[in-house]
Amino acid sequence: MTPPVAPDASPEQFPLPPGRSGLPVLGETLAYLRSSRAFTEARRQQYGNVFRTQLFGSPAVLLLGPEAVQWIFAGEGKYLTNRWTPGVRKLLGARCLSLIEGSEHLERRRLLAPHFSYATMRQFVPAIESLARRHFERWAAQPGDFTLWEGMRGLAFEIALTLIFGQDSADTSLLLHHFQRWTKGLFSPLTVDLPFTTFGKAMASKKVMLDYLERVVSERQKLAEQPPDLLGSLLNTRDDAGQPLARELIIDELQLLLFAGHDTTVTATSNLMLQLAQHPDVLQRGREAVASVEEPLSLDGLRSVPYVAQLIHEGMRLIPPIGGAFRTTTKDVVFQGFRIPKGWVVPVSITSAHAGPEWPNPNQFDPNRFAPNQPEQKKAGMYLPFGGGPRICLGQHFAMVEMSVMLVLLLKHYTWELTPGQDLTYTRIPFPRPKSGIQLRMRPLASATP
């Protein structure tokens, strides 16, 4: 299908990819938002792995398959740049990692990366374990059913606050309220800042959160020695000139970390619990796998059960918490014989990569795909729940350890049953979530009714 053009030809000599633009301005945005997967599959059948469309008011090109995914990740800072909605740009701190580009981004990653390494997570396991135990006990003591999504949001938020700010963090429920209003604004299509709009409320909550972060950071800067939490690490960080990070920059990063690590983890864990409830054979295998894990939990203990990671990976393959990200071309480029002009949108389609023809039976929940003897399933560009390239998720070890602790405790000590008759069809935006929020009844394993 590659058009016949000399290999040294300039981009203008290559044709645009096949495809259609759809309606004026709106393009094909609605169909894409309804189900990016169905949208992509239909066009993949018609045009192949490279096709154009129009999304969010801009011409766009979908590039599918593992090679295309690698090409996109390799293009960061060379021919592609990150693309965020105006709402996200206004609600996140202007100097946070996600909004900076090029060498500034790489430099910031270099400074932050050591605080998010797998080894660093060792110190956090006891705090995650103790919070997860407390919340799970409460869920299991509920006389009736409860909504898993809400429960997970409370737990994940408390874990994030504790790991970032230390054990005695402030009024969690008030902060969670403002945090939730703020995140709603991040996904609001309209950015009208009035007191009664979703976006306006988000801006007001952003102010409350910033005031809180400002206070905490100022107090902490007065300490002679920093406690061993993420804020302590950021305050101890020195750049190459030996200078500490600016306070506004630390606040911007804290806000980003709260956002980036919260609903993602909630989505992955809640959807995995749903899959396990629907696949009793897999659940049983999981229980057997964790039976010998010693408690209190440790990083080494978690690592000794690869099946736990297999479950988490397969859960995120089947339902990626982040379905995709967006880039824009910074110059005319050529991919597989087609010209992609400067300024076009290039989605990184995680959902499509996880369901592509490279995966046998992609709709089936099968953790054995990630067994150590199945290395071909881990080819670059096929499995990317945490993204890839220079912008790969900074908190991926954080997330994996947090989810592993929760899963081991759940498998070892609890049973959970879905409430019959609930609506488990998925809404996709902003995160893939069953409409019911997953209603279930949880009980301690030993006292579970047969």
Q: Tokens for 226?
A: 């920093």
In the complex, the smallest distance separating the C-beta of residue 109 from ligand HEM, rounded to whole angstroms, is 6
| Sole binder of ligand HEM in the list 49, 162, 265, 310 (CB under 6 A) | 265
In the complex, the smallest distance separating the C-beta of residue 107 from ligand HEM, rounded to whole angstroms, is 11
Contact 382, 359 (CB under 8 A): yes
Chain centre distance of CA 224: 35
Environment class of 443 (CB within 10 Å of its CB; exposed 0-12, middle 13-18, buried 19+): middle
The CA distance from 33 to 176, in Å, is 28
The CA distance from 349 to 387, in Å, is 10
In the complex, the smallest distance separating the C-beta of residue 383 from ligand HEM, rounded to whole angstroms, is 12
Enumerate the β-bridge partners of residue 427.
433
Under rule CB under 6 A, which residues in 79-108 are in contact with ligand HEM? 82, 97-98
| Sole binder of ligand HEM in the list 245, 254, 399, 406 (CB under 6 A) | 399
Under rule CB under 6 A, which residues in 338-377 are in contact with ligand HEM? 348
In the complex, the smallest distance separating the C-beta of residue 153 from ligand HEM, rounded to whole angstroms, is 14
Contact 443, 415 (CB under 8 A): yes
| Sole binder of ligand HEM in the list 166, 286, 367, 387 (CB under 6 A) | 387
Told to check if 231 binds ligand HEM by CB under 6 A, we report no
Contact 139, 444 (CB under 8 A): no
Told to check if 32 binds ligand HEM by CB under 6 A, we report no
User: Which run of H or E residues covers position 266?
Assistant: helix 247-278
Contact 358, 66 (CB under 8 A): yes
| Sole binder of ligand HEM in the list 91, 257, 273, 333 (CB under 6 A) | 257
| Sole binder of ligand HEM in the list 140, 322, 405, 407 (CB under 6 A) | 322
The CA distance from 266 to 300, in Å, is 24
- Residue 74: strand, helix, or coil: helix
Q: Which is nearer to ligand HEM, 82 or 377 (CB)?
A: 82
User: Which run of H or E residues covers position 182?
Assistant: helix 172-186
In the shown chain, the binding pattern of residues 103 to 132 toward ligand HEM, with x for contact by CB under 6 A and - for none, equals: ------x-----------------------
Told to check if 47 binds ligand HEM by CB under 6 A, we report no
Q: Which is nearer to ligand HEM, 202 or 257 (CB)?
A: 257
The CA distance from 341 to 332, in Å, is 4
| Sole binder of ligand HEM in the list 182, 365, 386, 431 (CB under 6 A) | 386
| Sole binder of ligand HEM in the list 75, 323, 395, 437 (CB under 6 A) | 395
The CA distance from 181 to 198, in Å, is 8
For the chain, state the CA radius of gyration.
Answer: 23
In the complex, the smallest distance separating the C-beta of residue 33 from ligand HEM, rounded to whole angstroms, is 18
Told to check if 325 binds ligand HEM by CB under 6 A, we report yes
User: Which run of H or E residues covers position 198?
Assistant: helix 198-221
Q: Which is nearer to ligand HEM, 58 or 419 (CB)?
A: 58
The CA distance from 60 to 163, in Å, is 39
Told to check if 202 binds ligand HEM by CB under 6 A, we report no
In the complex, the smallest distance separating the C-beta of residue 373 from ligand HEM, rounded to whole angstroms, is 25
The CA distance from 271 to 276, in Å, is 9
In the shown chain, the binding pattern of residues 280 to 319 toward ligand HEM, with x for contact by CB under 6 A and - for none, equals: ----------------------------------------
Told to check if 385 binds ligand HEM by CB under 6 A, we report yes
Q: What is the contact surface with ligand HEM in residues (CB under 6 A)? A: 82, 97-98, 109, 256-257, 260-261, 264-265, 268, 321-322, 325, 348, 385-387, 391, 393-395, 398-399
